[in-house]
């Protein structure tokens, strides 16, 4: 009985160690729209992935010029389209920041260098009105 308890204890400790190693640095970077705009000025060739549906890009929030559009719902099926950007940073945006966070997590787990835009296009357009 003591050997069984010891074995379970050792397995428990090992599982904590493995879990801790697997989640270490398992987050992507997030930026504000102000930071995004600054980076866009400094790097006009930056890669921006808009994960909204195509019809949303024609709606009242519009789109940022030059974005790549892959809706989050089909991102995993179309991820090969982003393979050429694997060694570059991809900035992900959506309407409010929710879908881009989901997409960022998917891409991060696939080994992409990801930056998520907090607040999405709503915050982007709001920041334009404040100036």
Q: For 79-90, what is each residue's pLDDT tens digit?
A: 999 999 999 999
Instruction: State the CB neighbour count (10 A cutoff) for residue 64.
Output: 18
pLDDT of residue 97: 96
Tell me how far apart the alpha carbons of residues 75 and 68 are, in angstroms, rounded to a whole number: 12
What does pTM read for this prediction? Answer: 0.79
Mean of pLDDT values over 113-120: 98
> In the chain, where does DSSP find H-type helix?
2-23, 33-42, 54-57, 98-109, 120-129
Give yes or no for a contact between 108 and 114, defined as CB atoms under 8 angstroms apart: yes
């Amino acid at each position: 009985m003591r050997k069984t308890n010891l074995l379970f204890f050792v397995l428990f400790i090992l599982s904590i160690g493995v879990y801790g190693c697997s989640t270490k640095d398992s987050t992507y970077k997030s930026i504000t729209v102000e930071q995004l705009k600054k980076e866009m000025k400094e790097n006009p060739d930056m890669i921006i992935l808009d994960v909204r549906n195509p019809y949303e890009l024609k709606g009242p929030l519009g789109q940022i010029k030059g974005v790549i559009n892959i809706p989050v719902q089909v991102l995993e099926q179309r991820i090969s389209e982003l393979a050429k950007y694997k060694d570059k940073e991809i900035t992900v945006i959506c309407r409010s920041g929710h879908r881009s966070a989901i997409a960022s997590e998917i891409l991060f787990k696939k080994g992409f260098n990801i930056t998520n835009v907090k607040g999405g296009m709503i915050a982007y357009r709001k920041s334009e009105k404040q100036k």
